[in-house]
Amino acid sequence: MIRILYFASLRERLGGAEETLQECPATVEALRAQLAARGGVWSEVFDGEQHVLVAVNQEMAPAGQVLQAGDEVGFFPPVTGG
Amino acid sequence: MHREVRVQAEPLDALAETTPVFAANAAVGGVVSFIGLMRHLNQGDPVEAMTLEHYPGMTEKALNAIVEEALGRWDLLGVRLIHRVGKVHPQDPIVLVAVASAHRGEAFRACEFIIDYLKTRAPFWKREQTTDGRSRWVEARASDVGAAAGWEKKS
């Protein structure tokens, strides 16, 4: 099982702040492909030109990062603090 | 070594929050602080208020990692990094970076480094409300990415 969190404009577009998946995809890239395959706004967000950042267990992660059961994955747009 | 990293929903008294970075440490020869304020205009539109969202847990980790990196690069005697979340209005302080060191050079560079890295690495997002009642997410700036990249260590 993995926990997925969505923030800011992504949360609004996707219509939810979090969800859990029972099956854990192998990598961040595989998870993104799985989400994009839902179609509609999901494919626009995860398959389109929008720049989406990923954190695994609250640290920025590359697409190839391996996922493990129990991980927390956060998806969000480029940050705008400060 | 004084160190404080904090995310808060309460108003930020940036001047009062600066003092502890050098208080009671006679080795400090200089303090450099940056106070980021909310502006009343963005992309030409009057802005009435802004709401800052963040990723609780990751935010604190990211801010601490940036401070660690600064401590590794420069000889510092104190660092305070405090960031607001929630609703803010024009002129409200959003972020305070205060750095103390024995001599000014280290403090100047570390302060600029911390705010430049924060702009591209800390998970905060701004949603602004314009005076005509509209609301929109603030877009990230390419110039911020360029500023942070300028600090990347050359291998």
CATH number at residue A62: 3.10.20.30
Closest chain B C-alpha to A36 CA, distance in angstroms = 23
Chain A residues closer than 8 Å to B53 by CB: 7-8
Under an 8 A CB cutoff, do A81 and B61 touch? Answer: no
Q: Tell me if chain B has a CB within 8 Å of the CB of A5.
A: yes
Average pLDDT over residues A37-49: 92
- The partner residue sitting opposite B125, judged by closest CB among A5, A8, A58, is A8
Q: What is the number of structural domains in chain A? A: 1
| Higher local confidence (pLDDT), A3 or A49 | A3
- The partner residue sitting opposite A81, judged by closest CB among B61, B83, B127, is B83
**A14 located within any domain:** yes
Closest chain B C-alpha to A82 CA, distance in angstroms = 6
Chain B residues closer than 8 Å to A60 by CB: 121
Q: For residue B155, what pLDDT is reported?
A: 46
Say which CATH superfamily domain B2-138 falls into: Molybdopterin biosynthesis MoaE subunit (3.90.1170.40)
- The partner residue sitting opposite A82, judged by closest CB among B55, B62, B115, is B115
Describe the crossing of helices B142-149 and B104-121 by its angle, rounded to 10 degrees. Answer: 130
Q: Of the candidates A28, A46, A25, which has an alpha carbon nearest to the alpha carbon of residue A37? A: A46
Range of the domain at A68: 2-76
Cβ atoms of residues B37 and B97 within 8 Å: no
| Mean pLDDT, 10 residues at a time, chain B of 155 residues | 97 98 97 97 92 98 98 98 98 98 98 97 96 92 91 73
User: How confident is the model over A25-42, as pLDDT tens digits?
Assistant: 999 999 999 999 999 999
Which residue(s) pair with A2 in the sheet? A21
Chain B residues closer than 8 Å to A59 by CB: 58, 61
Cβ atoms of residues A42 and A35 within 8 Å: yes
- The partner residue sitting opposite A80, judged by closest CB among B55, B57, B138, is B138
**A82 located within any domain:** no
Under an 8 A CB cutoff, do A8 and B127 touch? Answer: yes
- Residue A48: pLDDT band by 50, 70, 90 thresholds? confident
Secondary structure (3-state) at B60: helix
Cβ atoms of residues B83 and B28 within 8 Å: no
**A39 located within any domain:** yes
**Which two structure tokens, joined as six digits, stand for A39?**
């179609």
> With pLDDT > 70 as the criterion, what percentage of chain A qualifies?
100
